[in-house]
Amino acid sequence: MRADDIARYLQDHPQFFEDYHDLLAQLYVPHPHGGRTISITERQILTLREKAKALELKLTELLRFGEDNDLISTRVHALSVALLTAGSFDALMNVLREQLAEAFAVPQLALRLWNSVLTRDSDVFAPVEERIRVFANDAKHPYCGPVNDLGVVAWFGDAAPSVQSIALIPLRRESRIVGLLALGSDDPARFVSDMGTLYLERIGELLGASLIRELG
């Protein structure tokens, strides 16, 4: 008889140990963390403790994620209020830079807009290569990861050589892409491909709506 057969038999016949209850007191198994043997009851208690510890660690992790999300949500709300109260395009850009640098620890920021009714004397309205526009139009979600070959990193100017990871957030006017927000960091792990993009999308929506108000 194989071990699998024994295990299956015990699972299918739970009354076995009721019929042979004295056997439980005579069975000993190896201790999971040592060479000695312990009773089955002790082994079950150890297993339950290990499961309880694993659940406790998981709960702690979930609570930490919840606290992190609450903090990010609060910062996004503060950003939205600041954007809404900015009285001009220049004030809006200053608010955006300050909030992202201070509240979100994003050291580098660049923005490009196209198809705007109004323009300003700013790099924000500098010509954008067609391949970048195509990328923004085709993107379903913000791009997060290492510096890619689009050439967007050049938007960061003198800081470009130090940028190791980027986030690219398309900006929309209704269903139409009208610009791209680029965030950069010298930390290669700051923006990674498997990170959540929900809050980045919300920042893009907030900025897009604020820009429409100022520029049409």
Same domain, 177 and 97: yes
Count of positions (residues) in the chain: 216
Residue 98's CB is within 10 A of a number of other CB atoms, namely 12
Average pLDDT over residues 53-75: 84
Report the amino acid identity of residue 3. A
In a domain, 63, yes or no: no
Mean pLDDT for the chain overall: 86
Q: pLDDT > 90: what percent of the chain? A: 38
Judge contact between 178 and 114, C-beta under 8 A. Answer: yes
Domain of residue 149, CATH code: 3.30.450.40
Same domain, 110 and 160: yes
**Residue 16 belongs to what domain range?**
3-52
Same domain, 151 and 195: yes
Same domain, 48 and 155: no
The listed range with the strongest mean pLDDT (51-60, 107-116, 136-145) is 136-145
Same domain, 104 and 209: yes
In a domain, 75, yes or no: no
Residue 100: which of 182, 210, 205 has the closest Cα? 182
Residue 137's CB is within 10 A of a number of other CB atoms, namely 10
Same domain, 100 and 182: yes
In a domain, 67, yes or no: no
Judge contact between 209 and 175, C-beta under 8 A. Answer: no
Same domain, 32 and 106: no
Place of tokens 């608010």: 95
- Specify the number of domains making up the chain: 2
In a domain, 205, yes or no: yes
pLDDT at 47: 79
Same domain, 46 and 116: no
| pLDDT tens digit sequence for 148-158 | 989 999 999 99
In a domain, 107, yes or no: yes
Same domain, 131 and 30: no
